[in-house]
Structure 1
Amino acid sequence: MSHFSIAGLQLKLESGDNLDVISKHIVKTKKRFPWIDMIVLTELCTYGPEKKYASSFPSQAEHHYQKLCKDNNVWLITGSQYEQDGDDIYNTSTVINNLGEIVTRYRKIFPFLPYESGVKEGSDIVTFDVPGGRIGIAICYDLWFPEVARAMVCDGADVLIFPTLTGTIDRPLELIMSQSTAVMNQCYVFGINASEPYGTGQSIVVEPDGNVIYQANIGEEIIPIEIDFERVKRVRTRGGLGLGQPLKSLRDNPINFSKLIKKDTGYLDSLGPLTVPLQDNADNS
């Protein structure tokens, strides 16, 4: 099996319990596009971006989604939900297969600090197998760190999926990053963003050569895309546009790049604390 179909749901969702409205959209999507294998939701979609809705896992929402997946024969990436683990809160996405089984969970490695305060960083790269290939999952701001994408690809990911909640003017920058991430890693990239009131939409899907398959507008949309795992393999083998083969070059280069990235340098320390910027004439110490 070379083909696998993924539908991103760019929805308008409020803060609070959105399980019922999301469920209706999932059922509607599967009925309208019965060939869809997987549905991807957006970051913090189930209860919105307020930490007061944080739940311990396995959560009530997960159980609800498990039954929904089994009843509709569809895989689901739940976007994410705040997870309460003891005194810590994580931004966590759950992957559920079409049998209603939890396949894996991913904790956002790079919370959007200093704005997403009080959220602890995850520590594990997550990839998982689906019929025909392998998918990697990360969340929103993780896209800004190429090390995350590269690690997923080095673990065999053919498709990178980023559930997102961006409602700020930097969304156009994320579109550029999505395209460059696909080119550098010769993979499909799905950046599925929420619509209003918390997101600005503009979800994007990019193919391994870097061409944009589809870019959404700002309103609600269903984004059904059929991907081809063999296309990923061909691009990685022959090169993007028949040219660059960066993954093989990375493999064959003798330099140990992990030793080149040193976080304990004086330069990084000189940048100051990670805080919300103030006016230039205000004290930001």
Structure 2
Amino acid sequence: MSHLAVAGLQLDLQAGDNLDRIADEVAATKRRLSWVDLVLIGELSAYGPSVVHAQDPGGVAETRLRAIARDNRVWLVGGSIFERVDGVIYNTCPVIDPNGEVVLKYRKIYPFRPYEAGVAAGAECMVFDIPQVGRIGVSICYDMWFPETTRTLAWMGAEVILHPGMTNTIDRDVELAIARASAAQNQCYFVDVNLAGHLGNGRSAVFGPGGEVIYEAGSGRDIIAVELDLAHVRRVRERGWHGLGQVLKSYRDGPASFPPYREGAVSASLAVLGPLEKPQGLAPPAPLKIQDQTEG
């Protein structure tokens, strides 16, 4: 068996407690599409983007997501939640198996700084195995802007990258270009699920191991159910997409040692860019000085 049926839920959510809505949407998806093996929801779906909802491990959100997976007998990649560990807040994606057990918690390596303030960076790329199917990698939103994250997941053997996001800005089109390129460069499926409505502008997408577009959603609520063939990924990696580039083998066998990855390497060009902070607008004009023309 090498097929994985994935349903990406592009949900129209509000900031606040969305757990009941998520439970209803997952249950409805499984009732209608009983063949679905895994459900993926968008980043920070449970409560939205405020760190005031940060929870301790095993809190209300995690407990509820575990119950949703168990009740519907699906793998659930629960978008992400803000999780507080020893006083430090992480943007954490729980992966839950059909028995309701958490098999991993991935912490976003690249929080969207300087806007995602107060959130610490994770330090580890993570994959999990679905028995008799294959190996799956997880990244979150801004992570994919750094090609090292997806390349590391492929290097670890990931054949599918599941990527929850929450984007409501004008760079969504750029993100789709990055997701598509990530699939082609790493010869994997890339499933990018965004939020819709108040929290996101949608356009979730699924790309195949040649960079081919399997599906792209519009801006509203959508249920994206696709069957991924991981044997196809293995064949593409072995022979090239339609017999063309064998990208991962060339990467493996290439002689180059790239300067940015050498221990102790420092870039003078990057050093002069200044601090990572929010851009500022134009300085306000100086107050007008009114000359006193009163006759004495």
Q: TM-score, normalization: structure 1? A: 0.96
3-state SS of 1:224 partner: strand
Map of 1:76 onto structure 2: 76
Q: Distance in 2 between matches of 1:278 and 1:241?
A: 48
Map of 1:140 onto structure 2: 141
Match of 2:275 among 255, 273, 280: 273
Q: Distance in 2 between matches of 1:29 and 1:115?
A: 33
In structure 1, what residue type is equivalent to 2:122?
Answer: G
Which has the larger displacement, 252-261 or 89-98? 252-261
Map of 1:186 onto structure 2: 187
Q: Which runs of 4+ in 1 moved over 4 A?
A: 260-263
* Correspondence 1:1-285 to 2 at 5 A: 1-131=1-131, 132-257=133-258, 259-260=261-262, 264-279=266-281
Q: Distance in 2 between matches of 1:221 and 1:139?
A: 20
Cα distance per residue 1:161-217 (max 9 Å; x no partner): 110000000000001011100000000001100001010000010000111000000
Q: Distance in 1 between matches of 2:170 and 2:218?
A: 15
3-state SS of 2:225 partner: strand
Q: Where do 5+ consecutive residues of structure 2 fail to align?
A: 285-296
Q: TM-score, normalization: structure 2? A: 0.92
In structure 2, what residue type is equivalent to 1:239?
Answer: G
Q: Distance in 2 between matches of 1:188 and 1:245?
A: 16
In structure 1, what residue type is equivalent to 2:61?
Answer: A
3-state SS of 2:243 partner: coil
Q: Distance in 1 between matches of 2:23 and 2:233?
A: 32
Q: Distance in 2 between matches of 1:127 and 1:80?
A: 16
In structure 1, what residue type is equivalent to 2:134?
Answer: G
Q: Distance in 1 between matches of 2:261 and 2:190?
A: 28
Give the number of equivalent residue pairs: 282
Larger Rg: 2
3-state SS of 1:13 partner: coil
Shift of 1:262: 6.6
Q: Distance in 2 between matches of 1:20 and 1:215?
A: 26
